[in-house]
Amino acid sequence: AQSVTQPDIHITVSEGASLELRCNYSYGATPYLFWYVQSPGQGLQLLLKYFSGDTLVQGIKGFEAEFKRSQSSFNLRKPSVHWSDAAEYFCAVGAREYGNKLVFGAGTILRVKS
Amino acid sequence: SAVISQKPSRDICQRGTSLTIQCQVDSQVTMMFWYRQQPGQSLTLIATANQGSEATYESGFVIDKFPISRPNLTFSTLTVSNMSPEDSSIYLCSVAGTTYNEQFFGPGTRLTVL
């Protein structure tokens, strides 16, 4: 069965420090990969997506993610975190073979300390 | 991306009653989705709603409990029937984007059942 693992439930970083959020997936098909962010009391906003091609993708708000097929990973990175980045981040995976459905990871809550 | 609104944004309901949540999109979309996000949890797909056909429910969700309507290409409703405290969750609708499983989310409806 398809699954998405975000190993870190909570991460705390200092403002200005770099960030990496981990995402691993298990899929029996070529995956489409997404990162979403959910601020408190808000819906989900799409940060970035990977379908094919260049394995390093750029998103909004200065985020990037790298697809590594050999490691079944799609980690999210940001070189310098801002206090406004504090939120919950969800990795999601889909595949054409499974229709238009997305499977979400459990989420990682990011705290930013000043 | 589509602009999606949901009504109500939040509600507090009594056990045994029903609540209908509305999802409005500013453009015509083929596929809409309803998700549940229980407290501290990730998103779980309830059903996929296509205009002109019955909704397709995921394992563990049934039409009697979560009836869905999709009268046109810009609107859908989800009803949470005969509610119990276990139904306290955030309910989100989303729409399929134009590419590869991409989805865009509404702001969510926060439901508390007493």
Nearest Cα neighbor of B24 from B43, B8, B42 is: B8
| Sign, CA torsion A71/A74/A80/A85 | negative
Q: Is the pLDDT of residue A97 over 80?
A: no
Look up residue B82 and give its two tokens.
């005969």
pLDDT in tens, B26-58: 999 988 999 999 988 899 999 999 888 889 999
- Provide the pLDDT for residue A28: 73
User: Using a CB-CB distance cutoff of 8 angstroms, which residues of chain A are in contact with residue B44?
Assistant: 104
% of chain B beyond a pLDDT of 70: 99
Contact call for B42 and A45, based on CB within 8 A: no
- Provide the pLDDT for residue B36: 97
Place of tokens 């995956």: A31
Q: Compute and round to an integer the Cα radius of gyration of chain A.
A: 14
- Provide the pLDDT for residue A93: 93
Rounded mean pLDDT, B79-99:
93
pLDDT in tens, A4-62: 999 999 999 999 999 999 999 998 778 899 999 999 888 899 999 998 888 999 999 99
Cα B23–chain centre separation: 7
Rounded mean pLDDT, A64-76:
95
Nearest Cα neighbor of B108 from A31, A100, A45 is: A45
pLDDT category at B63 given cuts 50, 70, 90 is very high
Peptide bond into B8 cis (omega under 30): yes
Look up residue B107 and give its two tokens.
């702001």
Cα–Cα distance, A67 to B87 (Å, whole number)? 36
Nearest Cα neighbor of A89 from A22, A37, A14 is: A37
Contact call for A100 and B1, based on CB within 8 A: no
Q: What are phi and psi of B45, to 5 degrees?
A: -70, 130
Residues 6 or more apart whose CB falls under 8 angstroms from that of A86 comprise A110, A111, A112
Round the average pLDDT of chain B to a whole number and report it: 93
For testing the chain B interface, which of A5, A8, A44, A103 should be mutated: the one with the most B CBs within 10 Å? A44
Nearest Cα neighbor of A83 from A13, A6, A5 is: A13
User: Using a CB-CB distance cutoff of 8 angstroms, which residues of chain B are in contact with residue A34?
Assistant: 101-102
Contact call for B42 and A105, based on CB within 8 A: yes
Shortest CA distance from A102: residue in chain B:
B101
Q: Is the pLDDT of residue B9 over 80?
A: yes
